[in-house]
Amino acid sequence: MICYKVLLIFCQVVKIVPKDPDAIKKLRECEKAVQKLRFEEAIATSADNHSIVDSVDYESMCMY
């Protein structure tokens, strides 16, 4: 959550001083950190999730 707020702050800083190379560099670093966080959240699994393999009823698939 903090990274998202920092990203917004750096976006505002770059709007105020668009030619500042240090601000642009820090904005890019923050964007990468937020992207990494989002990716980690997307692939995270909890212990409550069950595998789809466990929910397949093989007996009902039999044709004989």
Does residue 31 fall inside a structural domain? Answer: yes
- Going by pLDDT thresholds of 50, 70 and 90, the confidence category of residue 61 is confident
pLDDT score recorded for residue 46: 67
Q: Is the predicted pLDDT of residue 19 greater than 90, yes or no?
A: yes
Per-residue pLDDT of 23-43, as tens digits, reads 999 999 999 999 999 998 888
Q: Are 7 and 30 in contact (CB under 8 A)?
A: yes
Does residue 10 fall inside a structural domain? Answer: yes
Of 12, 37, 36, nearest to 23 (Cα)? 12
pLDDT score recorded for residue 63: 67
- One-letter amino acid of 62: C
The pLDDT of 8-32, averaged and rounded, is 94
**Cα separation values, 5 from 20, 26, 39, Å:** 20, 14, 18
Calculate Rg over the CA atoms of the chain: 22
Does residue 58 fall inside a structural domain? Answer: no
Does residue 26 fall inside a structural domain? Answer: yes
What span, in angstroms and rounded, lies between the C-alpha atoms of 8 and 4?
A: 6
- One-letter amino acid of 38: R
pTM over 0.85: no
Q: Which domain, by its residues, includes 36?
A: 2-44
Number of separate domains in the chain = 1
